[in-house]
Amino acid sequence: MRNRASFKIRLFIGLIIVAFAYLKKCSQQEENPYTGKTQSISLSPEQEIAIGLQQAPSMAQQHGGLYPNNRYQEIVDQIGQQLVSNTIARKSGYKYDFHLLKDQRTINAFALPGGQIFITYALFSKLTNKNGNLNEHMLAGVLGHEIGHVLGKHSNERITEANFWKLLTMGASVGADLGELANSIGQNTLLKNGRGDELESDELGVKLMIDAGYDPRYLINVMEILKVAASHNRVPEFQSTHPDPENRIEKIKTTIKKYSK
């Protein structure tokens, strides 16, 4: 009898925690002005900026620090600011900084919340024309895509989702040893949403490129680079948990037609 009563108490407490998690998530719903998508958001823009600034040094260190060639860094800054100052990103309130990382092995680009954006030299060095010179349109495609992640508030959404599943897992664990199942569902949900984020950032990247005067068709060239890297059994981190490059290319072509009308 005592064990049964204890189980009922645990179940009741677990249900309360689960109900609280859902109510909290519902209260965090808001529409993103740049995508039109309703998201669960728990961080203010100021908090996003603070997190990005705090994490930026350690992220750079993980990739060997900043690339020592100041001329290349200036190019990254110039194109990044061109994308910000001539597009919707200018009114977002985020503080954009662009960093060229020293890493010559990992083909990658990523964004932290609030506007800290990174590209590795391994990817930067592949953004070239047939004559081997840097193609600024391709670089704009990469940076525009990463700005899209910031405008899409994807890190904010992932943090909010992670906290939701953490709380839900706690409630399930207290209620009836279902923590492992709840945690598994949460991870699968985050992975699925991550793929959707990439397509959304591709679309935002196309729009930013067009508004800033860059040719969005070169974003397709970036996808081709990722596809070649993957075919050599060197799957770029830029592609991990991402949609297949061929699918992204088709979506990008559709988006170019959409915004070029």
**Higher per-residue confidence, 121 vs 38:** 121
* pLDDT of 160 higher than 60: yes
Pairwise CA distance, residues 241 & 161, whole Å: 17
Secondary structure of residue 229 in the 3-state scheme: helix
pTM value surpassing 0.85: no
Q: How far apart are CA 138 and CA 119, in angstroms?
A: 12
The answer to whether 113 and 52 are in contact (CB under 8 A) is yes
Ordered by start, the domain boundaries in the chain are 16-259
| Phi, psi for 31 (deg, rounded to 5) | -90, 130
pLDDT digits (tens, 9 = 90+) for 191-229: 343 678 899 999 999 999 999 999 999 999 999 998 887
Whether the pLDDT of residue 181 is over 50: the answer is no
Task: Give percent of the chain with pLDDT exceeding 90.
Answer: 52
At residue 189, does pLDDT exceed 60?
no
Question: For 4-18, 71-85, 86-100, 164-178, which range has the lowest pLDDT when averaged over its residues?
Answer: 164-178
Instruction: Examine the pLDDT at 185 and tell me if it is beyond 50.
Output: no
Q: For residues 50 and 220, give the distance between their C-alpha atoms in angstroms, rounded to a whole number.
A: 33
The mean-pLDDT minimum among 100-104, 115-119, 184-188, 219-223 falls in: 184-188
